[in-house]
Amino acid sequence: MQRRLIATLAILTLVATGVTGCKKKSEEQAQTQPTQSQITTAAPAAPAGGQPAASATATTGEQLFKQHCAACHPNGANTITPAKTLSKKAMADRNIKSADDIVKIMRNPGPGMNKFDEGMIPNDDAKKIGDYILATFP
């Protein structure tokens, strides 16, 4: 009986730490990551060959998702609000059907989700995340 109680308390502690850790981690990332203006002023407008830059970063949607989203949305789940997963059906039920819809949620989230403004995630990268979510979580 005592073992079961200790195990339950340990699990609850881990869950509580994980849930509150999502917001804190994102806040720390926001403080340590450069703003979009810092990125664009440090980078040249076009490469030496005269070709325009492809996007703000050469990072894939999967890499960006893992960096910014996976802590609270592991495998498309939702550690804060379990009913609001990233599955196509669950998102369609909330009228989220395109990458642009996902970006709107990132920019203006509901309760429990961190806000990801353009300074934290440029629009091109946010769209990559949206495309990745739509292609990855059925």
Q: Mean pLDDT for the chain?
A: 74
* Torsion, Cα of 75, 66, 123, 94 (10° steps): 20
DSSP code per residue over 14-79: HHHHHHHHHHHHHHHHHHHSPPHHHHHHHS-SS-TTSPPP-SS-S--HHHHHHHHTTTTSGGG--S
**Alpha-carbon Rg for the chain in angstroms:** 18
The pTM for the full model equals 0.60
Per residue in 72-114, pLDDT tens? Answer: 999 999 999 999 999 999 999 999 999 999 999 999 998 999 9
Q: How far apart are the first and last CA of the chain?
A: 41
Question: Over 60: is that where the pLDDT of 35 sits?
Answer: no
The Cα 68–Cα 27 span in angstroms is 11
